[in-house]
């Protein structure tokens, strides 16, 4: 019986039809980048100063206690002297004032921000000092949405189809994005942000699966990398938008606007023929195959009456198969740790740009540029060198750059930024999506940075080095047929018999969505 892969060989594995769909779906990655990394600008925390009646610089120098911050004494942003200022000698002409013996208390009269008229949700709701941890929740809640969206939309896409899932996602994203922009208080912002992440990530995963299902097997790796590069394009556009849109709410509107356009995709994007075959809808799959052949200027010759689903006779594997046997368990745990490392280090380095100092727009733009050579590195290294060595090298390079950047003095800011970008390049080269890791990343970055601003880099470097060493324990797959069954992994040197093929390792695409490359 003919499979859909056989049909693709006739109608074109990556012809004009697939390229048109690819171009449309790649655009989905652009606003997704804004949702993922928008906190750098929407939640930017400028340097706060107390409202004292003097200029900000003089007021902080004269009236604010000095605290140890990252190894240096700096005016506190969260404390003030508890002093009756009318009983002191302080005046507008005062140059020095010794208040070392005065009682220190928390700020009670609000804050001013050095933010040049711009507005983030941090400045709107005064999420600084003791309330600073609430900023972490803004990113963690969207990451919770990413987690549940990945699994839920996997089920919805399998049950109702990829095309309808994309429509539902776009509608949910458009509505929740606008509601987020007008939410009246921070609690409602966190709730809506979770829903927004749920829809955005779910739709992005479905788009990736749909793309992989309409092209030939030999093109799937390239399609995945290019789809990932469009995400980098969105990361590149984000600082430009943020520079010209000074209010975080209007920036949210700009990030959301494309999802209204994506609603029209329902009229232009076909259903996955593979999904149609799995639902025994071969006549509709035939219509799409004929449309492919016509637009690709090819001819469909095979008898599609006998067309079958590629995996139709294979029993579904269980997630428990990933840990049931020794070698499979070892490989699974190593890969899970590497997914955790990729997620935490990549998102941590992205968000760190918001607290590193310097011009956040320029720094973000330049660091985003390194993601393009990182994506090209995937294309040219995996087939020529293999997977294990590039994977391990990327981890070790990321770890080394994080360690080095942590000890570069702030006076060498540009050198420090360049070294940190190398770490981002290494982690982006092999950065799958593991939403559970992203949930912890904001707390790991922001809370450790309170202790010492470079401490997160030390942690990132340590786990990246560990991940690189563990990868070397995995088998190389270059030039070796990929395993089809659990037995192929447990007994790689043993000849596989027909009976051993009864337990396939391969999970269906919708069950693999939680670990798709970003």
Kindly tell me the burial class for residue 346, based on how many C-beta atoms sit within 10 Å of its own C-beta (0-12, 13-18, 19 or more): buried
Q: Same domain, yes or no, for 412 and 459? A: yes
Q: What is the model's pLDDT at position 176?
A: 96
Of residues 506, 458, 452, 445, the one with CA closest to residue 481? 506
Give the chain's residues under pLDDT 50: 49-52, 92, 430-437, 496-518
Measured between alpha carbons, how far is 214 from 13 in angstroms, rounded to an integer? Answer: 8
180 and 36 share a domain? Answer: yes
In a domain, 310, yes or no: no
**Within a domain: residue 309?**
no
Evaluate whether residue 250 is within a structural domain: yes
Asked if 374 and 245 sit in the same domain, the reply is no
Please give the pLDDT value at position 228: 82
pLDDT tens figures, 95-151 = 555 666 667 777 666 666 666 667 889 888 888 777 878 888 888 898 889 888 888
3-state percent breakdown (helix, strand, coil) of the chain, nearest 5: 65, 5, 30
CA–CA gap between residue 163 and residue 208 (Å, rounded): 12
Is residue 112 within a helix (H) or strand (E), and if so which, with residue range?
strand 111-113
Read off the tokens for 90.
């302080």
Q: What is the pLDDT, as a whole number, of residue 508? A: 38
The model carries a pTM of 0.76
Is 203 inside a domain boundary? yes
In whole angstroms, what separates CA 317 from the centre of its chain? Answer: 28
Q: Are residues 472 and 491 in the same domain?
A: no
Q: Are residues 469 and 510 in the same domain?
A: no
**117: alpha, beta or left, given left = phi > 0 and alpha = psi -120 to 50?**
left
Number of folded domains in the chain? 4
Same-domain check for residues 154 and 299: yes
- Position 510 scores a pLDDT of 40
Q: Are residues 61 and 142 in the same domain?
A: no
| Residue that is written with structure tokens 């329902």 in the block | 266
Tokens of 489: 């992994």
Could you tell me if 113 and 47 are in contact, meaning their C-beta atoms sit under 8 angstroms apart?
yes
CATH code of residue 361: 1.20.1250
| Same structural domain, 29 and 56 | no
Please check whether residue 4 lies inside any domain of the structure.
Answer: yes
Q: What is the C-alpha separation between 514 and 101, in angstroms, rounded?
A: 57
- Domain boundary pick from 245, 272, 303: 303
Task: Please give the C-alpha separations between residue 233 and each of 226, 270, 481, in angstroms, as whole numbers.
Answer: 10, 25, 34
Cα 318 off chain centre by: 27
Q: Which burial class, exposed, middle or buried, applies to 295 when counting CB atoms under 10 A from its CB (0-12, 13-18, 19+)? A: middle
- The answer to whether position 198 is within a domain reads yes
Quote the CA–CA distance of 2 and 4 in Å, as a whole number.
7
Residues 325, 385, single domain; the answer is: yes
Q: Under a CB-based contact definition with an 8 Å cutoff, are residues 148 and 69 in contact?
A: no
Task: State the pLDDT at residue 241.
Answer: 94
pLDDT in tens, 269-293: 999 999 998 888 888 988 898 899 9
The verdict on 158 and 184 lying in the same domain is yes
Q: Judge whether 87 lies within some domain.
A: no
For 80-111, give the DSSP string: EE---GGGS---TT------TTSPEEE--S-E
Is there a single domain that holds both residue 298 and residue 321?
A: no
Given this model, what pLDDT does residue 203 score?
A: 93
> Strand 79-81 and strand 104-106: pairing?
antiparallel
pLDDT of residue 295: 93
Interatomic CA distance for residues 518 and 505, integer angstroms: 23
Q: What pLDDT sits at residue 185?
A: 94
**What's the CA gap between 459 and 27, in Å, rounded?**
34
Residues recorded for the chain: 518
- Measured distance CA(32)–CA(25) in Å, rounded: 12
387, 457: one domain: yes
What's the pLDDT score for residue 373? Answer: 79
Domain stops at, among 250, 270, 303: 303
Which has the closest alpha carbon to 80: 127, 129, 122?
129
Whole domain around residue 491: which residue ranges? 486-516
Residue 308 counted as domain residue: no
């Amino acid at each position: 019986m003919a499979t859909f892969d056989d049909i693709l060989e006739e109608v074109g594995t990556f012809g004009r039809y697939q390229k048109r769909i690819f171009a449309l779906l790649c655009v989905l990655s652009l606003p997704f980048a804004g949702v993922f990394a928008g906190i750098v600008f929407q939640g930017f925390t400028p340097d706060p100063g107390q409202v004292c009646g003097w200029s900000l610089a003089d007021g902080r120098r004269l009236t604010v206690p000095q605290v140890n911050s990252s190894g240096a004494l700096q005016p506190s942003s969260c404390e003030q002297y508890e002093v009756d200022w009318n009983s002191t000698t302080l005046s507008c002409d005062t140059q020095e004032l010794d208040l070392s013996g005065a009682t220190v208390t928390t700020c009670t009269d609000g804050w001013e921000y050095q933010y040049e008229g711009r507005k983030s949700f941090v400045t709107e709701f005064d999420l600084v000092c003791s309330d600073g941890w609430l900023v972490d929740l803004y990113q963690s809640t969207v990451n919770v949405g990413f987690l549940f969206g990945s699994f839920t939309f996997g089920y919805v896409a399998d049950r109702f189809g990829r095309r309808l899932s994309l429509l539902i996602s776009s509608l949910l994203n458009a509505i929740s994005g606008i509601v987020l922009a007008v939410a009246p208080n921070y609690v409602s912002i966190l709730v809506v942000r979770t829903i927004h992440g749920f829809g955005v990530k779910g739709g992005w995963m479905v788009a990736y699966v749909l793309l992989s299902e309409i092209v030939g097997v030999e093109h799937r790796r390239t399609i995945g990398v290019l789809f990932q590069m469009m995400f980098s394009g969105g990361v590149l556009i984000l600082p430009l938008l943020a520079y010209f849109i000074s209010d975080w709410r209007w920036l949210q509107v700009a990030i959301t606007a494309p999802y209204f356009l994506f609603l029209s995709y329902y009229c232009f994007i076909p259903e996955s023929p593979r999904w149609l075959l799995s639902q025994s809808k071969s006549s509709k799959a035939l219509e799409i195959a004929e449309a492919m052949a016509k637009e690709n200027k090819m001819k469909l010759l095979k008898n599609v009456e006998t067309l079958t689903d590629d995996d139709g006779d294979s029993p579904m594997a269980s997630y428990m198969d990933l840990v049931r046997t020794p070698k499979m368990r070892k490989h699974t745990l190593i890969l899970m740790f590497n997914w955790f490392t990729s997620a935490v280090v990549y998102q941590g380095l992205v968000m760190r740009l918001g607290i590193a100092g310097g011009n956040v727009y320029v720094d973000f733009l330049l660091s985003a540029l390194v993601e393009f050579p990182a994506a090209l590195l995937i294309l040219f290294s995996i087939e020529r060198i293999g997977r294990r060595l590039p994977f391990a090298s990327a981890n070790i390079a990321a770890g080394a750059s994080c360690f080095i950047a942590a000890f570069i003095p702030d006076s060498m800011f540009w050198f420090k930024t360049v070294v940190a970008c190398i770490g981002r390049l290494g982690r982006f080269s092999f950065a799958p999506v593991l939403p559970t890791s992203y949930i912890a990343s904001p707390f790991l970055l922001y809370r450790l940075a309170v202790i010492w601003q470079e401490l997160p880099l030390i942690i990132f470097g340590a786990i990246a080095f560990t991940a690189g060493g563990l990868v070397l324990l995995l088998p190389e797959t270059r030039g070796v047929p990929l395993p089809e069954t659990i037995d192929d992994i447990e007994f790689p040197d043993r000849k596989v018999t027909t009976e051993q093929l009864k337990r396939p390792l391969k999970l269906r695409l919708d069950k693999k969505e939680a670990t798709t490359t970003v």
